[in-house]
Amino acid sequence: MYIHLALVPLISLFAGILILVVPRLLNYIVAIYLIVMGILGMVHGG
């Protein structure tokens, strides 16, 4: 649980910085973020 809570803000911060630097990456960053959160949710739930 602690690892999940620590990763979410770090991933969000990194994604936000990348979006500011390279706006074209927005779709990819959102897709990767959703996939990672889904995997973490499945691992935590299982």
pLDDT tens digits along 6-43: 777 887 888 888 888 888 888 888 888 888 888 888 88
Chain centroid offset of residue 22 CA:
16
The reported pLDDT for the residue numbered 2 is 56
The reported pLDDT for the residue numbered 3 is 56
The reported pLDDT for the residue numbered 33 is 81
Could you give the number of structural domains in the chain?
A: 1
The reported pLDDT for the residue numbered 39 is 85
Domain that holds residue 20: 2-45
Cα 15 to Cα 30: distance, rounded to the nearest angstrom: 8
The reported pLDDT for the residue numbered 34 is 85
